[in-house]
Structure 1
Amino acid sequence: MNITEPQQNITIQYCFPENNSSCRKQARPGPAYIFLFIVLSCISVCTVFLNLLVIISISHFKQLHTPTNLIILSLAVADFLVGLLVMPGNIMLLFDSCWYLGKVACYMYPIINGLSLSASVFSLIFIAVDRYIAVSDPLLYSTRISVCKMSMLITLGWSFSLFYNVLYVYFNDHFLESKVRCYGECILFVRYSWVIIDLVTVFATPFSIIIILYFIIFKIAIRQARAVRAATNGISKSQEEKVSNSSETKAAKKLGIVIFVFFTCWIPFYLSSLSVENVTSVSVVWTVFGWLTYINSSVNPLIYAILYSWFRESTMIILRCRIFRSSSSRFNLFQENF
């Protein structure tokens, strides 16, 4: 008895069927990947939307034109680029491994990726420095920190980020034609030496600066709360302890949230990168843990903006289209303080 096994017709798909040197598609069908595509797309949209609200709020309302808010604006712009350009590019490569945007866009993509992420990290450093100066020397803060000085500092931060990422891509041979194996491929091969350099430059050093500054801020906040408690007259001892404990608790929570989120989103990527010999932009390490660093861009506006009352007020004005009124830029966003 002859048993004839049915032949399975496997159709090979190409990114660009009309091109003889096209890469093969690595399509990932199935409900799981469709669900993942929807979730990641929603994260991208939310990242763009939240950071766009911050950008519009600070740019439009004159009351928000302060040095501190300029840093938050810089952070929002960096995170906005992550949601608008970086996340969609990664989703496209994740879905079928093909790059449809051309050679020039492939050259620019890792630069934009690194620029937006490193600029976001530098903005976090500037926020920590700004808060340290405001807490340690509040009387002289307005003379030491101005909008002009902060604008120059932010420009220098973005310029250094751009310069660093151009070097990063260049010395990993991303611009060499020999690195492209087929048409429709866009992969960055990262040398192990540059993994170490990037670890020190973009993660270890910024994280150390942030944690040291916030630790000092926390200590100053405790000392100031105790000084206020000691100088307070006319209230009971229990009320004094309540005021002091409240200030200490708020400082501790803010310190804990900032450090925990930054640490959680960034350290898995670098630890996993150190554990492999060759890192590429399409590797499992880069795909899985790289998305944690992108999600940090979604969380940043929640930490640095949504917790502020002015952001909630400005968001309601924007969503109700009151921003289109002629005098909307001069609206008072701090009415609860009067």
Structure 2
Amino acid sequence: MEGSVGSSWCFPDLNSSCRRLQQPHSETVLLYSLLAFISLLTVCLNLLVIVSISHFRRLHTPTNALLLSLAVSDLVVGLLVMPIEGVRHMEMCWLLGRLMCALTPYVSYCLLSASLGNMVLISIDRYLAICDPLLYSSKVSLSRVKGLICVCWACSLLYNGCILIGHLSQPDRFNTCHGECVVVISHTAGTVDLLISFVTPCTVMVVLYIRVFAAAVSQVRASRVRVTLNAQETGPIVKRAETKAAKTLGIVIAVFLMCFCPYYYPAIAGEDTSTSLSYYALLSWIMLLNSCMNPLIYAMFYPWFRKAIKLIITLRILQPHSREMNIF
């Protein structure tokens, strides 16, 4: 019957070719349209974050430097990882060759690990800003935060090179036919990765944010009973701004945890983490969608980001001295 699901070969000229799963034309068009929309949305939203923070001098703060690093990793996820993973799962064939089979998982893992590292740095930044503002103002500088961001990315590159060293040296060792790119992380390595890349940093983030919110609540209560003298008004205003930023970034981290938790299900269930698992595509895309969620959260809770978007879309950032605009 025309339009029914069938199968063909990924590489018809090779006897060892894998089979390609053929979907109905209408379903294929819908899935590719959805993939293109999600990828394009992820790229555009994160590009707006990058342009906003990079262009306006008032946004050159340590916290925003961390958001910029996070947006860069999310941008590359939308630009490279989403399209490649989308085509792989829809076509059920790997068409990019052996070298890309080796590099694509490594790049993907590095981007996601860097995102997690940025989240940890963000939680530490907010903890110091709320709970120890004197130390924050004297010790936390833009140059030091940039150095920490570089260390975060370097550690991500090194760590994932160790985790995927077997796959990088022999990317086709688990393939059963020509047209596969199977990545397998053993249960032992997956458990170690679960502890190092997820449990430990997530515990740090949760503990720090519990303390941040406890400090924020105490500051709000104290401000309600404080005498409203003109000389004392500036302090509470700054505290409220810091508290609002902490709440927004707390939401970012909560969404991050919800998106990343399912990916570690195989390690928790005692299985090898393999791209050949029947449910791996679902776990992978739940995690990848986090790269699109972050700038949406900024747009909902950060007025400066909404104002920056208007200035960028209307091309007002091309005007002289636009870098000095006050967008708060």
TM-score by length of 1: 0.84
1:26 aligns to what SS in structure 2? strand
1:296-307 matched pairs, under 5 angstroms: 296-304=290-298, 306-307=300-301
- Segments of structure 2 that go 5 or more residues without pairing to the other structure are 230-236
Question: How far apart, CA to CA, are the structure 2 residues paired with 1:173 and 1:103?
Answer: 10
Change beyond 3 A, Cα 1:65–1:29? same
Question: How far apart, CA to CA, are the structure 2 residues paired with 1:264 and 1:139?
Answer: 33
| 2:151 is equivalent to residue 161 of structure 1 | no
Alignment-derived partner of residue 291 in structure 1 = 285
Alignment-derived partner of residue 20 in structure 2 = 25
Alignment-derived partner of residue 198 in structure 1 = 193
Alignment-derived partner of residue 121 in structure 1 = 116
Q: Which deviations, in whole Å up to 9, do the C-alpha atoms of 1:256-276 show, x marking residues without a partner?
A: 634531232122221244326
Alignment-derived partner of residue 225 in structure 1 = 220
Question: How far apart, CA to CA, are the structure 2 residues paired with 1:251 and 1:142?
Answer: 16
Shift of 1:62: 1.9
Deviates more, 1:182-191 or 1:309-318: 182-191
Aligned length: 316
Alignment-derived partner of residue 6 in structure 1 = none
Shift of 1:277: 2.8
Task: Pick one of 107, 127, 149 that aligns with 2:144.
Answer: 149
Q: Which deviations, in whole Å up to 9, do the C-alpha atoms of 1:53-83 show, x marking residues without a partner?
A: 1011111222211111100000001111111
Question: How far apart, CA to CA, are the structure 2 residues paired with 1:201 and 1:318?
Answer: 39
Contact 2:6 2:22 in 1 (8 A): no
- Segments of structure 1 that go 5 or more residues without pairing to the other structure are 1-9, 235-242
| 2:315 is equivalent to residue 308 of structure 1 | no
Question: How far apart, CA to CA, are the structure 2 residues paired with 1:306 and 1:71?
Answer: 19
Residue type of the partner of 1:219? A
Alignment-derived partner of residue 93 in structure 1 = 88
Shift of 1:42: 1.6
Residue type of the partner of 2:271? E
Alignment-derived partner of residue 328 in structure 1 = 322
Q: Which deviations, in whole Å up to 9, do the C-alpha atoms of 1:236-282 show, x marking residues without a partner?
A: xxxxxxx9xx99x9699647634531232122221244326333224
Contact 1:272 1:285 in 2 (8 A): no
Task: Pick one of 91, 112, 133 that aligns with 1:138.
Answer: 133
Contact 2:298 2:305 in 1 (8 A): no
1:29-68 matched pairs, under 5 angstroms: 29=24, 31-68=26-63
Contact 2:102 2:171 in 1 (8 A): no
Question: How far apart, CA to CA, are the structure 2 residues paired with 1:157 and 1:325?
Answer: 35
Task: Pick one of 261, 265, 270 that aligns with 2:259.
Answer: 265
Alignment-derived partner of residue 103 in structure 1 = 98
Residue type of the partner of 1:161? S
Contact 1:51 1:79 in 2 (8 A): yes
| 2:284 is equivalent to residue 279 of structure 1 | no
Contact 1:218 1:251 in 2 (8 A): no
Task: Pick one of 311, 315, 326 that aligns with 1:317.
Answer: 311
Identity within the alignment, %: 40
RMSD: 2.9
**Over alpha carbons, which structure has the higher Rg?**
1
Change beyond 3 A, Cα 1:255–1:81? closer
Deviates more, 1:182-191 or 1:209-218: 182-191
Shift of 1:137: 2.1
Shift of 1:21: 4.1
TM-score by length of 2: 0.86
1:314 aligns to what SS in structure 2? helix
Shift of 1:148: 0.8
